[in-house]
């Protein structure tokens, strides 16, 4: 069997199928079989949704461990090579689709799958909420992302909207760093393998999760501004009243959004969005 995790075999595969890698799609293919197998091991032995299957480098390793692998690839030019590499593997299903439009709930109606893949930087912000905001949810996400993204996801403070979206629904852990040299073409930065173990229930207890995330997103539009002024503008509350409510929940009006913990975000949201009488 051809193993595209080995650089010479990948080169021949790409040449045979006349494939030119597309930078705009974040196509950097792993060429380290040991790291590839470590990534597959982290996904475990549950059913897997693979995001960005490429030419099947990770797909074949996942298929050796999982009873079912649903491999989704956006670039139709890669599909023939992907089919060649996974040919004969009865537990692999290939879909040429945009993962942001792919019907995950119909494919895994009971949830509990593991989502795995090497995720392009420009996809991470949209993908995590897409996978986690609505039930049924996956059991775990095991993703290779830029090291900077991994650091944000595992930060002790909710440093970005993406960080909050992750931490509301999952517990993040970095398993290993992957050097740029492990990919072809090598990206400009190192990557990391991160697991997101999905919580049984969200860490933020609010009646309307979408409203909470919209509130956070609105505040982050002014991330460099002090929290008091931004919240006053968003909520239509006077500066004095805003400062008073923030003080009541133990948050400084002079704080910046990226310094708040998840607990503080919930407290601030409740201070300005709780029904009367609560």
Kindly write down the DSSP assignment for every residue of 24-54, as one continuous string. GGT--EE--HHHHHHHHHHHTTS-EEEE--T
Phi-psi region of 89 (alpha: psi -120 to 50; beta: other; left: phi over 0): beta
pLDDT in tens, 184-234: 999 999 999 999 999 998 999 998 888 998 999 999 988 889 999 999 999
Where residue 277 falls among pLDDT bands split at 50, 70, 90?
very low
For the chain, residues classed under CATH 3.40.50.150 are 7-198
For the entire predicted model, the pTM comes to 0.86
- SS3 (DSSP) at 3: coil
Strands (E), the chain: 29-30, 48-51, 69-73, 92-96, 114-118, 140-146, 170-178, 183-184, 191-198
pLDDT in tens, 131-167: 988 889 999 999 999 999 999 888 776 667 778 888 8
For the chain, residues classed under CATH 1.10.8.100 are 209-273
Q: What is residue 130's predicted lDDT score, i.e. its pLDDT?
A: 87
Across the chain, mean pLDDT equals 92
Q: Which CATH architecture has domain 7-198?
A: 3-Layer(aba) Sandwich (3.40)
Rounded Cα gap, residues 113 and 134, in angstroms: 14
198 DSSP assignment: E
Which CA distances in Å does 278 have to 31, 229, 272, 273? 56, 24, 11, 10
Of residues 131, 80, 82, the one with CA closest to residue 69: 82
Q: Which CATH architecture has domain 209-273?
A: Orthogonal Bundle (1.10)
């Amino acid at each position: 069997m051809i193993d595209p995790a080995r650089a010479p075999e990948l080169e021949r595969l790409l040449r045979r199928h006349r494939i030119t890698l597309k930078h705009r799609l974040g196509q950097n293919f792993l060429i380290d079989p040991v790291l590839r197998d470590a990534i597959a091991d982290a996904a475990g032995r549950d059913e897997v949704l693979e995001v960005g299957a490429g030419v099947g480098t990770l797909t074949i390793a996942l298929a050796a461990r999982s009873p079912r692998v649903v491999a989704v690839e956006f670039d139709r030019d890669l599909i023939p090579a992907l089919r060649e590499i996974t040919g004969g593997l009865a537990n692999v299903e290939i879909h040429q689709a945009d993962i942001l439009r792919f019907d995950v709930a119909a494919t895994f109606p009971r949830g509990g799958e593991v989502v795995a893949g090497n995720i392009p930087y420009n996809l991470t912000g949209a993908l995590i909420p897409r996978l986690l905001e609505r039930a049924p949810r996956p059991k775990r996400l095991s993703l290779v992302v830029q090291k900077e993204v991994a650091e944000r996801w595992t930060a002790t403070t909710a440093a970005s909207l993406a960080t909050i979206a992750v931490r509301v629904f999952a517990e993040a852990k970095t398993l290993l760093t992957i050097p740029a040299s492990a990919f072809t073409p090598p990206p400009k930065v190192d990557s990391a393998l991160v697991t997101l173990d999905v919580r049984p229930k969200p860490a933020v207890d609010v009646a309307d999760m979408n409203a909470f995330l919209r509130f956070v997103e609105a505040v982050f539009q002014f991330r460099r501004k002090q929290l008091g002024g931004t919240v006053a503008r968003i909520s239509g509350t006077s500066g004095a009243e805003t400062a008073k409510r923030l003080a009541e929940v133990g948050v400084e009006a002079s704080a910046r959004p990226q310094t708040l913990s998840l607990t503080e975000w919930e407290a601030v949201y409740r201070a300005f969005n709780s029904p009367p009488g609560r």
